[in-house]
Amino acid sequence: MLKLNRMSGALATVATLAACALILSCSSEAQTNPCPDGTEPYTEYRLFFGRGDADNPQVVSDQQWEGFLEDTITVEFPAGLTVLDAYGQYTDSAGNLVKEDTKVLIILVPPDADSAPGIDRIIEEYKQRFSQQGVLREVKATCASF
């Protein structure tokens, strides 16, 4: 009887260890790919390009934007991107409420891609070319499928 109790205890210990190993392997798998089935992890960049200033809500014309898109943005990210028209407002450094048309640029890249330098070049070029104070940048992890 004592031998049977020891075997039962050993089996219970083995079963507990096996259950723990199963739980840990599932949780590490979930951590490596947190995306739902059919999607993959990406880094999403959203850049908000104001097209005006305190005196004029559209300093950057449609033609100027198209040129910037072609010769700067597309050169940095030729694989694909999305541009949306938007309208926004902010208070500038002089305290003026600026209402302006805006272009929102959305770029998805693999999470291991070193895209930050390209994003930085786009932002700096826009600020210099069109005398803008800044470009709003949003960066987040996301899941997508194509």
One pLDDT digit (tens) per residue for the chain, 146 residues: 555 455 455 545 544 444 444 444 444 444 677 899 999 999 999 999 999 875 776 789 999 999 999 999 999 999 999 999 999 998 878 898 888 999 999 999 999 999 999 999 999 999 999 998 899 999 999 999 98
Are 13 and 82 found together in one domain?
Answer: no
Are 10 and 72 found together in one domain?
Answer: no
- Give the per-residue pLDDT at 59: 86
Are 67 and 7 found together in one domain?
Answer: no
Are 21 and 90 found together in one domain?
Answer: no
- Give the per-residue pLDDT at 79: 94
Are 74 and 116 found together in one domain?
Answer: yes
Q: What is the DSSP letter of 119?
A: H
Residue 89: name the closest of 133, 46, 50 by CA.
Answer: 50
Are 59 and 110 found together in one domain?
Answer: yes
Determine the Cα angle at 46 with ends 72 and 98, to 5°: 90
CB 108 within 8 A of CB 22: no
Are 52 and 95 found together in one domain?
Answer: yes
Are 115 and 88 found together in one domain?
Answer: yes
Q: How many CB atoms lie within 10 A of CB 45?
A: 21
- Give the per-residue pLDDT at 27: 45
- Give the per-residue pLDDT at 3: 52
Are 63 and 123 found together in one domain?
Answer: yes
- Give the per-residue pLDDT at 52: 84
- Give the per-residue pLDDT at 8: 52
CA–CA separation, 65 vs 76, rounded Å?
15
Are 57 and 106 found together in one domain?
Answer: yes
Range of the domain at 137: 40-144
Total number of domains constituting the chain: 2
Are 24 and 47 found together in one domain?
Answer: no
Are 65 and 19 found together in one domain?
Answer: no
Output the domain CATH number for residue 45: 3.30.70.120
Residue 106: name the closest of 62, 23, 44 by CA.
Answer: 44
- Give the per-residue pLDDT at 138: 98
